[in-house]
């Protein structure tokens, strides 16, 4: 019974370490958001807002002010940026890609692990949009 406890504990610690330390491949996550309409998904959110390079730069600054958020790949000058935002306690990564299109900005926030983000990505993206005055 004691060995079972230690095996379970080791598995839990290993799983938490993998969540926090797993590499993020830009080839997988830094992709076209393909936003055709506003969508609330089980594991994320898609939004399209009017905007241009100036809007993108403002949104970029707001996103980088978000705790535990960093750029995975890209830049506003390239027309696409993918960000990683990690949860406070366990470090679960969420990915948000923002892309400049002719008619505005496409935003796609999604989780990496699990099947539902409990609305976390939607709340984060809507908070950013509220700050630039572009909420639905």
More confident: 18 or 41: 41
Annotated domain spans of the chain: 25-132
Tokens of 77: 């000058």
pLDDT of residue 134: 65
For residue 135, what pLDDT is reported?
A: 55
Q: For residues 55 and 107, is the Cβ–Cβ distance under 8 A? A: no
Q: Is 102 or 62 the better-scoring residue by pLDDT?
A: 62
Q: Could you report the per-residue pLDDT of 65-105, keeping only the tens digit for each?
A: 999 999 999 999 999 999 999 998 888 999 999 999 988 99
Closest CA to 77 of 106, 46, 98, 107: 98
Q: What is the CATH number of domain 25-132?
A: 3.30.310.80
Q: What is the pLDDT of residue 26?
A: 94
**Average of per-residue pLDDT values in the chain:** 92
């Amino acid at each position: 019974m004691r060995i079972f406890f230690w095996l379970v504990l080791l598995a839990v610690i290993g799983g938490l370490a993998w969540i926090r330390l797993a590499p993020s491949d830009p080839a997988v996550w830094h992709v076209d958001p393909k936003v055709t309409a506003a969508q609330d998904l089980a594991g994320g959110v898609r939004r399209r807002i009017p905007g241009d390079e100036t809007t993108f730069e403002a949104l970029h600054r707001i996103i980088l002010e978000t705790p535990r958020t960093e750029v995975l790949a890209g830049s506003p000058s390239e027309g696409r940026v993918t960000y990683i935002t990690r949860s406070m306690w366990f470090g679960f990564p969420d990915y948000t890609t923002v892309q400049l299109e002719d008619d505005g900005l496409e935003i796609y926030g999604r989780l990496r692990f699990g099947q539902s983000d409990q609305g976390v990505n939607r709340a984060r993206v809507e908070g950013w949009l509220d700050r630039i005055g572009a909420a639905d």
